[in-house]
Every structure is written in C-alpha cells, then in structure tokens.
Structure 1
Amino acid sequence: MKLNLPKAGACLTAAALIAAGTASAHRAWMLPSTFTLSGDEQWITVDGAISNNLFTPNHVAMRLDGVTVTGPDGAAVEIQNASSGEIRSAFDVLLDQQGTYRLSSGGAGYFASWQEDGERKRWRGTAETLAAEGIEQKPDVEISRTVRRTETFVTLGAPSDGVFATEGTGLELKPVTHPNDIYASEEVSFQFLLDGAPAEGVSIELVRGHDRYRDVEGAVELTTDADGMVTFTPDTAAPYWMSAEHESEGSLNGQPIAVRTSYVVTFEALPF
C-alpha cells in the first residue's frame, strides 16, 4: 500500500483516511533528543510518556522498569540518570559504538476481570500467578493476553542492521527502509511480523508529531498487505509516531481468550 503523507489541509488518496480533530486515546512514546549523530562518542537523552498529544507530556510518565537498550553489537547498554515524574520519564544513553541502537519498552502479561460481591474486579499478572491465585476459577471471568512494544532507534555514524533481529513473539518491525535513513519526499517501506510471520491485515496509524500545534491532527490509517508491508512517503521533515495493533483469539488451558498485541515506533524524516 502506498500513499503520500499530506501537509496540513491537503487531501489524501483513497488509500488512506485522515482523522480530523485531536487524538481521543492516550499514546505511548519514546523520543530521543537526537536520532542520528556523528563522532566517536555521544550522549542522548530520551523522554518517555503516555500522552494525549504526541511528544507533549500531559498525562502519565512511561514506566522505566521495562526499558532495554541494545547496542550495534547486540549487547545490552545500561541506561543512566533515569528518573520519572508525574507526566514524563527520562534517561540518558552513552553511545560509544558505531552503528544503530535499539531502545525498547514493553512486555507481555494477562488481564482478567469479573464480578464479585457486586463490584467489578480487575487483575493483571503472569500465567503462573493467574493459576496460583485461582483467577481462572472466578465466575464469568474474562481473560485476555497482551503483548506490547514501544521502540525507537538511534544511530551513531553509519546505520547498521544488527539490532533488527526479531524474537518471534507479538508484533515486530522488520525495516526495509532503515528508520534512521528516512527523508521527506522519499518512499519508506516497513514490514511487520506477527509471531515471526508476515502480519497481513494489521491496522497501522501514522501521525506526524507535535499535533498540539495543528488544527487537524492528520492521522493516517493504513493496513499491511499480504507480506506485512506498508509503504508511505512523508512530505514533511519531522518526528513521526507509528502504531500497529492486532487482535486475535488464543487459548489458555484449553479455554479461548482474546490476544491483543501492539507495536509503536518513533522515527524522524530528515529534510531532503
């Protein structure tokens, strides 16, 4: 699927839809101070939040206990000076290897809800604690599994591909165009995988950042093709936020449950 991302007020082709107005849902994101750098060694600061407007903290801070950084050689990189306030978290990363770094936050878990003594009860945790606490035995319990990832990529020197190895669980990005080699007015192609296979029919939302300063948000809705691919052309140099979501039916101990998986990536388009 191909489209051009419009400037404010322009029209889209029939292949996409623009959602007018402001976002109605809270969105998770990580935004590095710089996406591409040069030199032998550099520092970046990364902001993380869940907000109503992209890259404007105004709701709650992102939890940092699930954040990992992977260096170009595949080894873990320690985050430094981590802190969390009410509406924003931040941490620093020292880049001392040439190539691309992967910054990721997320995890998997189970959610349950049921009625008890006239009240709606809610629970979240692992499969082990689900069984240990007897959650499955609650009357009319509804159980779902969630797998989520929020990522961004930063490159020191020339872009590299080592950090794009996939795990085969949930939604994952397998870039065709490198996330740190994107330019306004040039076509971009991303492939999405679901549990290791091309993710066909996955809903994608793409939004240019700093939507607080626009009368029209300009969110673009896409759908992956049979190969899990989406292709688009950003018209404007800016940071962008892309979200992929998929829901299917799974099972737990032979019982059907809903499985919801999501993937978010932040990247920038540079001036052409």
Structure 2
Amino acid sequence: MKRSTLALAAALCLLPLSAVAHKQWLVPSATVVAGTDPWITIDAAVSNQLYYPDHVAMRLDSIAITAPDGSVSKPQNPATGKYRSVFDVQLAQQGTYRIANLSGGVSARWDTPESLAAAKAAKDGKAPADGAARGGFLRNATPEDLANKIPKNALNVQVTEGVGRVETFVTHGAPSAIAATGKGLELAPVTHPNDLFAGEEATFKLLVDGKPAAGLEIEIIRGGTRYRNAQDELKVTTAADGSFKVTWPDAGMYWLEASTTDARTSVPQAKQRRLMYVATLEVLPQ
C-alpha cells in the first residue's frame, strides 16, 4: 500500500463508530435550476462516507417525486449498480420538488427454548458461543407473516414497526411552499431548503404525524468526510414547538438525520414504532 493509503486507513481506525455508520442519501445534480425544460439526475446510495458511494446502492422501488402541485411520479431512466443507483427527474413545473425514498414495514425477532438453552450453555462455558443456536428474525414482514412464520413455541417475541423518509429538495424557478404529509417523522421548513447560505441562520421544524416533535436531537454533517479526519458534526435539539436553528459554517452538501420511537403503531402486534428522517441540503456560498 502507498504511504498515503496507509495514513488514511489509520485515520479511519481512529474515528468513533458513529462516524463510520452507514448513511442513506439522495444527492441531486443541482438544487436550483432554470430554463424551459430542465432535468436533474439524482444519485442514491447507502455509504460509510458522505457523499462517496462505498457500501451499497439504494433501491429505487419506493422513490416518490412530489411536484409543486402535489402530484406524485416515479423516477425516470432508473439504473442500479453495485454501489449506487441513479435516476432522472424532469422538472416540468415551476416551484419546489420533494424527492424522497419512503420506507415502512414490520420486523420481528424472538427466542426459542433451544436458543435460550444454547445461550445459557455458552455463558456457562459448556458450549462454544459461536455454535449457540439462535432465535428467529423476520424483516419486512406482513401481518400474515407474523401469524404464520413465528413458531408457536417462540419466546420473548418483539415486533417493531419502522417508518422512514430519506429526501432532498429541488426548485425550478421561484421556490414554492412545501406541505407536510402528516405521516411519520418529517421536516417542515420555515427557511426554504433551497435558500440556504454559509454563515446564515436557518430555521426548520420536525413533525411526527403532523405534530411538533419536541426534544429530538438532530445530527448535521457536511459532505466530503472522506477527505477529513473528523466528522465535524453539528448537533441541535428541537424546541417544544419542534423548531431548531442551524448556522451553516461552510458551503456544501449537508446530511441531516433524526430519529425517535413511540408506541403509535398501525400493526396491532407491534408495541414500538421507530421513525427515521434524513435530508440532503445544499448550502451555497455568500
């Protein structure tokens, strides 16, 4: 390995685990466009470093493109490779488009008498830990899966509902208002997301099912983490009305993430709902 490569590898080893966690993102080729028939291209990936595709491509099955008039369409010219997906969006209307990857589903995990016995034997040193029988797990399960695929002798069954939104915003011409969907965890802009400048303060709100989300911590990271040893993340917390303020230190693409849990599930078997929100925002120089 070259000396520079070894130095980079050593630097990455010193980063905290949160710094190298997988991050989902959508990055547009432009966030503000003009013209009579503008198009943009979106990169979509799940990566360790922002915004460098180095882990896995994002699936495009659940991409929703909401036009300024509220109509929803699918990606054009979609393609998925090993590390990233790409698609095009024709911005036929004047105003702001909301481009999002929506996720939702139910997961379940459980123990069995055999897995508990094996775990106890491993703990007591009577069996190798790697050889211990494990319980079961379902991902993207349906209510029918919960009824039919979880064994009758299952113990400690935990069913969780997940709702996520990964999005970005693009404006053709003059910005337009962005209406909240009232579903899950989402951003309600006060400052328009396509009107952000380095050194200026911006205000946003976080909502859960259309209501203010108080006390949520938000992590904000500028892209280009591959080329610096520190994440330089910003952390802010929402006020009682769900609002938070950010003063952007530099121009660039920023990754904004928040998550929370509650018990407002839509699946009777689920006792917990996990909510996740991610946005990519472009901050322009003064």
Which structure has the highest helix share of the two? 2
Which one of the candidate residues 169, 176, 183 is aligned to 1:153?
169
Q: What are the within-5 Å matches in structure 2 for residues 1-272 of structure 1?
A: 23-116=19-112, 117=114, 118-133=133-148, 135=150, 138-161=154-177, 164-250=178-264, 257-272=271-286
Residue-by-residue CA offset, 1:79-135 (whole Å, 9 max, x unaligned): 111011111010011111111111011222111112345323210235533444253
How far does residue 250 in structure 1 lie from its aligned partner after superposition?
A: 4.5
Query: Contact 1:40–1:97 at 8 Å: present in 2 too?
Result: no
Deviates more, 1:117-126 or 1:149-158: 117-126
* 1:14 counterpart residue number: none
2-side partners of 1:218 and 1:252: how far apart?
A: 38
- After TM superposition, the score normalised by the length of structure 1 is 0.86
Query: Contact 1:205–1:220 at 8 Å: present in 2 too?
Result: yes
1-side partners of 2:264 and 2:101: how far apart?
A: 23
RMSD: 2.1
Aligned amino acid, residue 221 of structure 1: K
Query: Contact 1:250–1:256 at 8 Å: present in 2 too?
Result: no
* 1:11 counterpart residue number: none
- After TM superposition, the score normalised by the length of structure 2 is 0.82
**Higher relative contact order at CA 8 Å, sep ≥6: structure 1 or structure 2?**
1
2-side partners of 1:224 and 1:22: how far apart?
A: 21
Task: State the secondary structure of the residue aligned to 2:248.
Answer: coil
2-side partners of 1:139 and 1:226: how far apart?
A: 39
Query: Contact 1:110–1:143 at 8 Å: present in 2 too?
Result: yes
* Shift in alpha-carbon separation, 1:254–1:90, aligned structure 2, 3 A: closer
Which structure has the highest strand share of the two? 1
2-side partners of 1:186 and 1:165: how far apart?
A: 24
List, as ranges, runs of 4+ consecutive aligned residues in structure 1 with deviation greater than 4 Å. Answer: 19-22, 250-256
Aligned amino acid, residue 156 of structure 2: D
Query: Contact 2:262–2:273 at 8 Å: present in 1 too?
Result: yes
2-side partners of 1:253 and 1:186: how far apart?
A: 43
Query: Contact 1:72–1:101 at 8 Å: present in 2 too?
Result: yes
* Shift in alpha-carbon separation, 1:132–1:99, aligned structure 2, 3 A: same
Deviates more, 1:41-50 or 1:138-147: 138-147
Query: Contact 1:53–1:211 at 8 Å: present in 2 too?
Result: yes
2-side partners of 1:219 and 1:262: how far apart?
A: 18
How far does residue 237 in structure 1 lie from its aligned partner after superposition?
A: 0.9
Aligned amino acid, residue 23 of structure 1: A
Residue-by-residue CA offset, 1:239-261 (whole Å, 9 max, x unaligned): 11100111233467766722210
2-side partners of 1:205 and 1:156: how far apart?
A: 28
| Gap regions ≥5 residues in structure 1 | 1-18
1-side partners of 2:144 and 2:269: how far apart?
A: 17
2-side partners of 1:66 and 1:181: how far apart?
A: 27
Task: State the secondary structure of the residue aligned to 1:212.
Answer: helix
| Gap regions ≥5 residues in structure 2 | 1-14, 115-132
2-side partners of 1:249 and 1:144: how far apart?
A: 10
